[in-house]
Chain A
Amino acid sequence: MSSTDSLARQQAARKGYWRRLPLIDNPRVRWGLVLGAMVYLVLALASVEVNWARVAEGAGRALNFLGAFLQPDFVSRQSDILAGLLESLTMTLTSTVIGVLLAIPVGLGAARNISPLPVYAVCRSIIAVSRTFQEIIIAILFVVMFGFGPFAGMLTLAFATIGFMAKLLAEDIEDLDWRQVEAVRATGASWWQTMNHAIQPQVMPRLIGLSMYRLDINFRESSVIGIVGAGGIGATLNTSLSRYEYGTSAAILLIIIAIVLMSEYASSYVRRWTQ
């Protein structure tokens, strides 16, 4: 915003005309963005094909589904739900533990201030690959390689955990207080001792908090990778939906929401306790 502009604004304000400052200063960019957005919206909406007859037909089903949420059916498929849930929970726990353990060396390697350039490049590319592809795509590949079942699912979640945790851990290490590292090094400490006494205490609280958060994400993801055969509650949910047993689907969704809520409370408690 130029100074003549702000002067004009002040004079107008004295006369009682006032308008708030725009979010984007340059009027050309502002109107260009608006125009571009309009053109895009028209093009995009024109290319969306909707089969309204099918939507009208589905409206009844939507009502059925909402009705099912009011009386979810936990009982009639109880054993399937329990088995799926147990599989999801075990996958979540093992994959988080394995993923975090593997993410620690990758994260150390991906921190520019403590690792040499070749190691840094390798670790960063591991992180990039793991973060770009959705869990479900990785799950498809792992199911082909390792066969159906929770083992492929566990590996998928562990792989996704590596990218997530290593990136955040590396950023945390890059921001740490270097004076403590220098102090420990000045005592003649070896590389291991420096890691253990200067770096680990600084990043530990955040590492624990992030692991709890990742546990939460892994549970949520474990409910979908079952769709492609990687075990967990997702397979049960998928079957119940395609058989139009909405009562069971509603029950599964409510269980997922309840578990996510509980783990969110638990993780906020743990994070408060570590910091």
Chain B
Amino acid sequence: MPVSTSPQGAPIWQRRTTRAQWLQFVAWLLGLSLFLLCWKAISDNTMWVFVEDAGRQGSDLISRMMPPRWEYANVLWKPMWDTLNIATLGTVLGIIMAFPVAFLAARNTTPHPLVRSLALTIIVSSRSINSLIWAMLLVTILGPGVLAGIIAIALRSIGFVGKLLYEAIEEIHPTPVEAISATGASRLQVMNYGVLPQVMPAFAGISVYRWDINIRESTVLGLVGAGGIGLQLNASINSLAWNQVSVIFVMIFATVLVSEWVSARVRHAII
């Protein structure tokens, strides 16, 4: 915080030096120009005529949705069960695969730095690709259906569970590990009795959290053909049956609220 003296001899306080002030100004200028540039690129690709009557379109949409066709809900129980299965089985499969990957990726349990970087690559690629993209890939490979959805959810979960679990493994207390290895335990026994009990609560919490996220994600996988309630959503949108779409939205909203509540309760009980 620089202090300069005014011609009258009184000290003047400033928050920043002149240099810092200029740097900040230039940074804001650059940021603002970048934003405006991006805005221009978007606005060039936009049909503003469509945007102008958005309000009318929106109210039209709501009026078409508004008396929801509640009897359509009877058709939705099976797809909803499929959605729950996609999320749950996908999470189970994902954590089974993520578990060894996390141990290979943690700095204190990895057998070799090369293995570690391989495991980290698996985690990053799984994390960067959205489950919908995995689903698109798997639908072209396995054909449309619940199986593609389950595997898509599993592949996406590896990265998430793997990352949080390996961070938990890196933060464990070294003393129990030392104590177990001092008894002459093998590498596997050290993992089993020294590391595993310490990360088990975190692991359970992460898995339930991911299950909660997967419920949300599995509701839309059907849009690309990977089973679940998304298939019905897609069909209803394509046939412009907006009063069915609103029923589906209500179902999704309720399911997500319940799963969030369950996950919060379980995590609260564990931690």
Contact = CB atoms under 8 A, between A and B. Distances in A.
Interface in B58-107: 58, 61, 81-82, 85, 88-89
Interface of A: 20, 23, 40, 44-45, 47-51, 54-55, 57-59, 61-62, 65, 86-87, 89-91, 93-94, 97, 132-134, 136-137, 140-141, 144-151, 154, 220-221, 223-224, 227-228, 231, 234, 237-238, 241-242, 244, 249, 253, 256-257, 260-261, 264
Interface in B1-54: 34-35, 37-39, 41-43, 45-47, 50-51, 54
Given A54-B143, A147-B50, A90 B88 contact: no
B61 A141 contact: yes
B127 A224 contact: no
B261 interface: no
A224 B220 CA distance: 11
30 contacts: A20-B193, A23-B201, A44-B89, A47-B82, A48-B85, A48-B147, A49-B145, A50-B146, A61-B140, A90-B39, A90-B42, A94-B39, A94-B42, A132-B252, A132-B256, A132-B257, A137-B219, A137-B220, A141-B61, A145-B57, A147-B46, A151-B42, A151-B45, A227-B223, A227-B224, A241-B137, A244-B140, A249-B137, A256-B129, A260-B127
Contacts of A154: 42
Given A58-B141, A132-B253, A147-B51, A228 B57 contact: no
Contact of B133 (A61, A132, A146, A224): A224
B208 interface: no
Interface of A is mostly: helix
B38 A90 contact: yes
A220 B130 contact: yes
Contacts of A45: 89
A113 to B, nearest CB: 22
Contact of B35 (A93, A132, A133, A140): A93
Contacts of B128: 220, 256-257, 260-261
Contacts, number: 149
Given A134-B216, A220-B128, A151 B51 contact: yes
Contacts of B145: 49-51
A61 B141 contact: yes
Contacts of B51: 146-147, 151
Contacts of B200: 23
Contacts of B150: 48
Contacts of A40: 88
B172 interface: no
A253 B133 contact: yes
Nearest to A129: B253
Contact of A231 (B45, B217, B223, B233): B45
Task: Give the size range of B's interface with the partner.
Answer: 35 or more
B108 interface: no
Contacts of A97: 35
A145 B45 contact: no
A131 to B, nearest CB: 9
A147 B42 contact: no
Contacts of A20: 193, 197
A92 B128 CA distance: 15
Nearest to A260: B128
A244 B217 CA distance: 25
Contacts of B217: 134
Given A23-B201, A264-B124, 20 more contacts: A20-B193, A44-B89, A48-B150, A51-B143, A58-B142, A59-B141, A65-B137, A132-B253, A133-B249, A134-B220, A145-B61, A149-B46, A150-B45, A151-B42, A151-B46, A227-B136, A241-B136, A241-B140, A249-B137, A260-B124
B237 interface: yes
Contacts of B81: 47
B202 interface: no
A151 B256 CA distance: 28
B168 interface: no
Contacts of A224: 130, 132-133
* Closest 8 A/B residue pairs (Cβ): A147-B50, A54-B143, A90-B38, A260-B128, A151-B46, A58-B141, A44-B85, A257-B128
Contacts of B89: 44-45, 48
A133 B34 CA distance: 30
A257 B133 CA distance: 12
Contacts of A23: 200-201, 204
Contacts of A149: 45-47
